Structures are given as C-alpha cells and as structure tokens.
Chain A
Amino acid sequence: MTTGETAEEAARRLRVFLVDDHAMFRAGVRAELGAFVDVVGEAGTVPAAIAAIVALQPDVVLLDVHMPDGGGRAVLEALRRSQPQVRFLALSVSDAAEDVIGLIRAGARGYVTKTISPEQLADAIRRVADDDAVFSPRLAGFVLDAFAARPDVPVADPELDQLTNREREVLRLLARGYAYKEIAKELFISIKTVETHVSNVLRKLQMSNRYELSRWAADRRLV
C-alpha cells in the first residue's frame, strides 16, 4: 500500500495536528507518524485544540471522539465554518454507530479506529488531505446498514437517501477489508473512481435525512 509514496512524501510533508485527551496516546501517534508526516502540534482539551488549530493551520487534524467538554464534535463545530481548508479525520476506540456517524455528519472526512497500523494511518491522512474520504471497514458496514433498502421507509430524496449499486459494491469490499487498490482491481475501475464513489457516499452520509441517520443524531441529542 505504501509503495511509491516516498516521492510524493518528499514533495509535500503534510502538517498534522493531534487532538486527544490521553497524553500517552498522543505521544504514541506522534512517534509512529513521525516518519510519514509532520506533527505540528497537539492538544488535550477542546479550547486548546480550537486555538492551536486556528493558529497553526494544519492540513489534517486527527480528532478523538470522546473527550471532556463535548469531544471531537465540539472542535468540529467550532472550526467547520471558519476553517474550511482544514480536514478532519476522526480517530477513536469507540465502535458505537452513533459516535461514528455523529462525527462524520459534523464534517469529519473519515473515521478510523485507534488500532490502525501507522502505515495505514499515514495513508488515511494523505487521502483525507486530498479531500477524499476514509472509511474503516466497520464504518462501511454501518453505512450499508443505515442505507439498506427497507420497503417501509419512504425515500424523500433519491439523490441523497439511496446508494447506487456501485457505491454499495465499493462499500461491501471496504467492509470485507479490501484496500482501495484492491477494490479497483476487483471491480475493474481506477483507484480514482473508487475514491470518487467513497466521497459520494460520505456526502450522502453527511447530507441525507434518512430516518436511521437522524435517529442516531436524535439519540445523541445532536440534531
């Protein structure tokens, strides 16, 4: 997966900012990522993160879901409008659907779990910086579940509330643990096309008013 990326890396070292309330975890990620990107700063609280991100203007912010004072969502909501050029990647131990979906709907470009390998994390950061989306297998599973064709649920806006067959196929392969490159090979399409499909799914996930999605939001009082 990481082959041929050294050239690209040399051309542009991405500036990454870490937000997590566990200092030990920040230190670990910093050490792991040092070889791939520039970690320009880190913060352990929501206010500190907001101030530092505005000051440092990183390319990508790695955002923890669960923190005191509102967690990653609070950071996202504070900066989404004023800092549209900053990309956010949610990084969490939580696999709970509502957490994942909540952060994505607040504007994160992707979601990965903390058990991800450093190479994969660097890869995900690069993808998010390029304005593509990053889905963990489990997130892909959630999305498939949320957008499952249910005869009893009326579809208000087919453009937003339904996945195309191709998008479904891509998500299935993601959920099966395929990397983008492998998906491209399996479906006989280019990696760029895979990325487009995933980005479209992300957009639907953020914009759709499907019942399942709004229910998650309502459960967490995120409406």
Chain B
Amino acid sequence: MLLASCIAYALILHAQAKLINGKVTDQQGQPVPFATIRVKNSKQGVSADADGNFSIRTSPAETLVVSGANITEKEVAVGDSTYLNIQVAHTTSNLNEVVVTALGIRRSRNSLPYAAQQISGDEINKVPTVNAIDNLSGKVAGLEITSSNTMGGSTNAILRGMKSLTQTNQALFIVDGVPYDNTNQSTYGYDLGNAAADINPDDIATISVLKGAAASALYGSRASNGVILITTKKGSNRKAMSITASFGVTAGSFDKSTLPTYQTQYGEGYGSIGGNDNNGNNPNPFFYYQPIPSSGGQPVPIVVTNIDAATGPAYDPAMKVYNWDAFSPTNPNYGKATPWQPAAHHDPTDFFVTPVITSESVIAEGGGEQGTFKLGYTRNDDKGMMPNSSIFKNMVDLDATYNLTDRLTAEGSLDYVNENAINRNLYQYTGTTNPMTDFRQWWPTNVDLQELKHDYFNSLTNATWNWQDNGSYQTNALGNIGKPAYHNNPYFQQYQNFESDGRDRYLGYAKLNYKVSGFLNVMGRVSKDYYDQQTELRTNVGSVELPFYSRFNQSYDETNYDLLINFDKNLNTDFNLKALLGGNVRQDNIQDITAATNGGLIIPGLWSLSNTVQAINAPAEQVLRKEVDGIFAGATLAFREMLTLDATIRRDKSSTLPAANNTYYYPSVSANFIFSKLVTPTWLSYGKVWANYAEVGGDAPYYSVRNTYTLNTPLNGEPVMAYSTVNNNANLLPEKNNTYEAGLEMAFLHNRIGFNADYYHSRQIDQIMPISVSTSSGYFTYYVNGGTVQNQGVELNVNITPVKTNAFSWTLTLNWSMNRNKILFLYGNQPSFVLPGGTLQNSIQIVAEAGKPYGIIRGTDYVYKNGQRVVDSTGHYEISSNRESDIGNINPNWIGGVNNSLTYKNLTLSFLIDMKQGGQLYSLDMDYGSSSGLYPRTAGFNDKGKPVRAPLSQGGGIILNAVTADGKPNTTRIDESDILAGDYSFSSAYGEADKEFIYDASYIKLREAALTYSVPAKAFGAGQFIKGLDVSVSGRNLWIIHKNLPYADPEQGQASGNVSIGFQNGAYPTVRTFATTLKFRF
C-alpha cells in the first residue's frame, strides 16, 4: 500500500507541469554525478543522478545554479530549450570521488557514514589476470585475499576476519546489482577455484568494497561477510563508436624459494628392510638381495623400490645396483645395474612446464541520444605448470540501454562465460595420485623425471619408480607390467588419469527504470545467475587405485526480482532527503547428480559410466531450493552537505527457517559529519568523522529443520536406509550479526597527504551451526543456535603525493588492517569444536575454542621443562600425552599493502608490496617429507663432522637440543642410521611432535610491478584509424622479500574455505609471471 501511494503521489505531481531535462558534464564531456541544480532565488532544486542527468520544472525566464561537492558553481539561463547540457569545471580535490554503494546507489565519498573503498578497473588490471579477485590483494584495508597461485585455483576473500563457524565467510559478490555466486567448486581434492573467477577482468569499471554491516545491510543476510560490488563497463552515448582491443601474453617462472631442496646423501629404501627378505646372506640389508631374470639365479643388490621413502642406503657411485629403471621394460637401463647416485633430473622443475596465458579482448561501444550499447569479447588460454593442464575461457558481455520515452529507460545485460579445463591442480592429501605431494613428501633423489617421462611415452604404461614387490622384479616385461606400490608415474597420472571440467554461465538482467518526476524514480529488475557445469574424474586401468570413471553434473540457478523506489529532493536550501523503498525476492535452485562406475573398468581408457565391472550404484542426487522474500526501506537526510544521517531497515522471510521463526527484521543507523566545513585551519584540507550501528539477520542452511533418511545401494536385493547422522532442529531461530564502527578521514596540505581510519566491532551471535556433540548420542552433530564470534579491528588507508609537477608525479597508497578475533561461546559447556573441514591428514585439527581466536591448530606437542624440550632416556623428545594440544593460530596479526605509482608524462611505473604479519600453519609436507628423509634436516653432518645417518659406532647420530626430565642438558646421542630399528627421530611419525612443523606464515612480497607507456594520440595523427595505444610490461609475484617457511609459499593453502589456510600439503610453487600487453583504441 505504501508503495502504491508513493507512486500515485508522484504521478499527480508530474501531471502538473512541463519539465526541462538536462545533463551535467565536465570539460571532457564525462558525466558529473549528484550536482545540485537550484532555481536561482527560489527554494526549488533537484539533484542530478549518478549519470549527471536531471529534470526540473521551471520557466524560460529563470536561471539555474549548479553546484556540487567537487565542482565550481555555475549559473545557466534556462531560455527556450527543453534540454540543457551544462558543462562545469572540477575543483582540484581528489577526495570527492563517487562511490558505488549498496543497491548500485552512487554517493559522494564525502557523505558515506561507513567504511567503503573503491578500486578502479584500471587498478585491478594493471597486471593482467584471469581472476580479478586475486588482484585485489594488498589494495583494500581489511580485505584478506589468499590466492592459491595455481591454474584456475581458489581465492579466499575475507573481509574483517572470520565470523561464521560453519558457513561461508567469503564476501558476497554483486555484479551490476546482481548477486554473483562465488561458491568454491573444488571437488575430490581438485582445486576448481571459486565461481567469481568467471567475472571478466576486462569488463570491470570499478570495484567497491563495502566492509561493514551498515554498508551492506540492505543486501540481507548474505552480506554479513561484507560485499564486493562490481560495476561493469557500460556503453557511452558518444555518437561515434569506439573499439578497444588488447592483447596480452603472460609467462611464468618458478620461484625457487618455494620448491624443496633435497638431501642427496641417501636414496630410496627403508633402513635395513632388505634384511627381512628371507635371504640370509645379504651383504647390505639396505638393498634387497635377490635373483633377477638376467642374473642367472644369483642374488643381486636391488633398490628397495616398494618403499617410497629416502631412508635407504647412502649413495655410493662406485657401487652398481639395480635401480627402479632396471625393471622398466622400455628404459635403456632395463636389466642393467647402474651406479648408486642421485639422478640427473630429480627436481620438480624437471616435471613442470612453463605456464603461459594468452588473452585477447575486444570491446566495442557506442550509442546515441536514445541509447547505448557495449559488446565485449575476451578469450583466455591458460596453460598450467603441470603437464597436460589447461583452461580455455570465452567471455562475451553485452549491455544495452534504450530510452523508450523521456522517462522510461529499458536496460538489459547478458554475460556469457564458457570455460573448459583439464587437469586442475590437486590439493588434498591423497597419498597416491598427487604429483606435488610426491615431490614434497615421497621423492627419493635416485628417481629421474626424464626417465619416467621417456618410459611413460614409450610404453604408455604406469612405468613406475616404486614397483610393488619382489615379484615384479622377476616378471616385469611389456604386456605384463607390475603395479606401483604407492605412486603412479606422474606422467601416467597427468595423461591417463586426467580430470576435466566445463562450465557455461549466464548472468543477465532486464531492467526498467521510470523517472516519475525529478525526485522520484522507480526501478524494476529481474536477474538471473545460471550455470551448468560438469566434472569428470578418471583413473585408468594400471593405476595404484581401483580404476573408475565418475561424472558430476550441476546446475545453479539464482533468480532475483527487485523493485526499488528512490526519492531524492532538496527540502529547502539546507536539507536534502533521499529515501528508498524496495523489495527483493530471491529464489535458489541448485541441482546436482553424481554417478560413478563400480568395481573397476572393463575397457581401459573408455570414459563411460557403462564401462563398469559391477552394476553402478544409484547416482547421488541433490536438490537444494530456497527463497528469501525481503522488504527494505532507507532514508538519508543531509544538512548542507555537512551532516548526514542514514537509517535503514530490512525484513526477511526465509524458507529455510521453521515457519514460526522465519521472519526477522534488522536495522541500521549511521551519521556522517564533515567537520572541515566548520573549522578550516589552513593546514587542513578536509576532515570528517562517521559512526554507525547495524544488525544483520541470517537464515539456516538448506534442510536443517527436520531429519531424513538416506537410501543406500540395496544389499542382496534388500533395501538399505540410513538415518540422519545430523540431528536437525525444528526450533531454529534466525542468527544475528551486530556491528558498530566509527571512522575518521582527514586530508592535509592541499590534499597531498590524507588518511582514513576506522575501528569496527562485530559480534555474530546465535549462529545456526551443526555443533559436534558426543557421538554416543547417535549423531555426529546437532543443529543449534550456538556460537558467538567477535571480531574487532582497525583499518587504515594513507594517500601521499610526495611529488607533483606537470611532468612528474609520485603517489603512494598504504592499506593496513588488523583484526582480532575471539570465540566467545560455542554451545552448552562445550569447550571446543572441530571446524568443518578441520579434520586433516595426520590427525591435525583446526578448531574453534571458546576464549581463543577462530582457527586454532591442534596436534601433538613436546613436554617442556623451564621452556626447554624434555628428552626421555633414549634421547628422544618426550611427546605430551595430550594428542590435541594447541600448537598454532591461523590468524594474521595484520595485513597491509604499499602501492607506489610514479608517472612521468606518458610513462607510469607502479609497484605493490603486499604484506602479512603473523598467523601460523602446519606443514604436512615438512612432516611427511621428514619421515621419508627427503630434506637436508634429516641428513648432513653432525657436531663431530660425521654423517648424521652413520651408525653411532662410526661417529654418527645426533644429540637433540633439550634437557632430561631432571632439567640437565641432554647428552644422549641418537642412532639415526636405520629407520627400521626404531631410533630415527625425524617427523611426527618418529621422534618429533606435530609442533615441530608449525611455521610462521608471515610474508612480504613484491606482488605487482607494472610499467605502462601511453603512446600520445598525436603520434597517430588526426583522423587516423588508431586513436590510442597503451603498452605495458608487468609482473606479478615477482619476489618473496621475506618469509619464514622453508621450501614453500606461506600463502598456499587447501583451496578455499574457512580452514583452507593453516594447513599445507603438496604446496605448489609460486609462479612469477611476466606479462606484456598492448591495448589499442580505434
């Protein structure tokens, strides 16, 4: 009713008079938004919209006065025209940029009563990227970007710390007003990245980051993690069509500091295991000693290939032994003994290929008085570092607007993305299939990668460095090749067991905008984010594991219906009122189906579900449906562009909550005061303070109010049904987030130095979560309203322009933020809770613990006395009996970025230093790699200058730096010579605690550097076909200036998600990328 009467009121007003339309532009013809247009000597006035358009009722005799925050005031006589194009001049201040805020409303930054930071598309694309989100790293205070730095890999985008214990903490993405799904698509340990990677970086005009609840409250519950608001490029109504084309090539090289260094003293084996081979006459039990076909029945020394560790015999080039290659039928060394020494090509870079990305993009735009259009096409060819891995991406963006009448504008947009990938990177611990975990955890240096490559391509079999058993030594021949004990040949893995996936995505909207009068506007929009994707996994016959083929198909469909009524009027010369009333209906429908072969493949290499040894199980199906109906209202009252008061309220009704509790309201109030309007000492250019309080309500995950049964595969023809292991809850209440924040923004010395700082405090309370309970209840989890998580922090931006002359300028931007996070309460008396995904390999847990920060790493720790580790009588460390000691904290102390930009005439050099201080991670790579004796820390020479792994009798062994139980220095030397004897002391599998492998995750990186040259327009001459050319050379991840983690980049995690940082397994090396881009304007 309210909506209807608003419209009626507006229509009556409109019926009374004729309007003058117009547009405010600057000297370059670019629209100037939000200027105030008053009729001189009257109270009547209107505001221009974001595109500079305005309509005002007046007569030809009047004069209009145009003023605004960052323009010089101008008077224009009305005269007889009905359309006025008013050109104004900008003042010098750069603080008055226009920021896109919630619901696409553009506001001058002057008037914002909350924390928001805007980045231009040019800033994002300074270094070319296929994932725009990665390029936000270090550019926004309070935004923690963790990118996996692999082909198509995941990116975490967390604003102001982790809030939800069990649901996503990723910021919400909105593209041109349409929510854009950013679900992490990773599956079965393959990193398929986040869906926001579909956003075409070339199409981005601006990115606004709305950090706090007050800024984002109108978006509803999904916005409680903050919003990243993307505005794409639109056509302009310049009459001439313009075409921009750009071409880029990016090539990568590997940062050696993020790759392992191996010990090269000892090769493959497991101590004296050869002594167990039932041959009583073994001269060196570190080898097997058995006959092989070519040895005439005589036992010969054979490398212990059915072990994947490097705890075997010391290298001795004078000794000839039968290495793994002696049993690989197509290898030149087949049947031959070779010197026992490290292989020539055992470094992972011998396996990697050079990553190359090529991109081509064309954008055509044009328009006239009645409308505009833009059509863009971008293609990326991304070849990854792993052999046989690639992603091809095609993106088409079409936008058009048309003025149906003076008042009614139609607008439509369709973005299409098609993506096909092969061999995404594995990130989970699999033990068998992931080459990167092999290289870091199970990789004796007697294995030559080029030989493995040669043998794979010559035999097309799983010719392996870890033959299963002694039997294979006798029988391996082409056509009868044995199986690996643990690890596939990495080339067999990449070429025969390849993953592939594809996605078609459509994002589109249709929008009608009706300008009821100069101060009342009604917008209606239907939008859809839809994608279809499939992922196929393959394991061919001959692999370590049971061969299989599986296929996953999913469709994602989110539809939003929006109605937004905007009111904007100068009540008198002092007061302006903006108000909005809106409604949103959001409908989700996600469907997926997964099917797999059963019991093996009949025909090798045929990737079909019908190629199954046993009848396939019923495909697993999922249908997730949800609707949220929201109504919201907001008002902004401004006094002389000095004081602004904002208030909003939203009501949501969600289908996922029980009917009795499914409607909830949440308000926000904000105030903004530009004090420099009152006091203006000469040194102060600008000053404002703001503060706000906001609540955001949240609903429940799908299907969490009632228990269901699962139908499993019938057994001997009998149906089998399992009861829910989650106890759902029919009495769930909405959850809530309460946030308050305050900020100060100042500029000095004619805006040459400026800063803006804020403090925030947020509490996520009554979280709807599946709390892990005692499983003696029969359930793993109960759905409850539990969990209170508090985040508070400080964010700071500083802008300095140390030099500014006509020819040369240097600007420096600094972003810095710290967040302090604390779990205040879980549920009942429960002291801690393993976060979803927090149960990790080697029994490492990442938990929420009441009274501590979100994300405590748990594992085994040492026993300490006076701060020193204690050893037992054998000289080994004592390990605390608490298997789940707190050993680390994943949260950084602070993050920051420093961006420098130096411009000389048409040449610009910029570079970004990106920093993270604090936070810890557990490295499974270092732990498992130590247990298999890969790393130098497990070998080398001891205090006596003797090899660490020599027997005590030969002066070997080590004395751990520790004390005995009575506090005296440890003097007991450990014999490290034979891992099988049980004295070996490296790794948590042997003598060390998990704590040993906790590392500081801090880093300082030279993240980006770019040199851009704009060829002056006059170089092409007037009227030439080419109107402009930008040439740039840039690089990303160029230098890790500082880190404390050996052999890896601390940023590498486990795809994306709440616990994806804090645990490192099979970390991919950092790729330094170098790009060249040409950008033509026609």
| Mutual binders A and B | no
Q: List the interface of chain A (C-beta within 8 A of B).
A: none
